[in-house]
Amino acid sequence: MMSDERDDMAGLRDEIDQVGRTAAKRFDPGRGALTIAVAVPAILVSMVLPWTGGHTGLDVLLGEGRAIPKIFSCGALFAGVLLSATTLAVRRWTLAWITSLALFAASISGVLSIWMTQTTTGHKPGEGPGVGLVVAVIATVLLLVKWLQIAASRPPIN
């Protein structure tokens, strides 16, 4: 009879340890989920606003304009919308770090996109960034900060 109780306790201990290991792989975004839930639609809305000259974000995504804004539009949609939504749904630490790194790359290309719309090879200034490009870059940087906070908040594993 004592052997059965020990086996039951060992099985229960293993089950509890397994639940602990599974929980250690997941995160709770807390209030950060609200920031993410606002920034993701902001990126989507920015796609219909003007980015460069008379081109909207969708135009840039589909091939109009310069190369760096095209790269940023792809990065903003991939990292800012797709990866953020997937990471928020799955809630895995590893995916939070991957999302942070992708958003870092997208943020850099976004800032470069704004800079490139203001510069030309002549003596006249460029057309400047449109409101959609600025909104997309701000939303991407906000997402970067929030995902870095979430990813870096993982408690040490004992």
For the chain, helix (H) and strand (E) counts, in that order, are: 7, 2
* Average pLDDT across the chain, whole number: 86
Q: What percent of the chain clears pLDDT 90, i.e. is strictly above it?
A: 54
pLDDT, residue 135, reads: 97
> What is the CA 102 to chain-centroid distance, rounded?
7
Amino acid present at 4: D
pLDDT, residue 59, reads: 92
The pTM is what? Answer: 0.82
Q: Above 60 in pLDDT, residue 150? A: yes
pLDDT (average), residues 64-89: 91
Q: How do residues 3-62 score in pLDDT, each as one tens digit?
A: 677 777 777 677 766 666 665 667 788 888 899 999 999 999 999 999 988 889 999 999
Distance CA 8, CA 104 (A): 49
pLDDT, residue 81, reads: 96
pLDDT (average), residues 113-129: 80
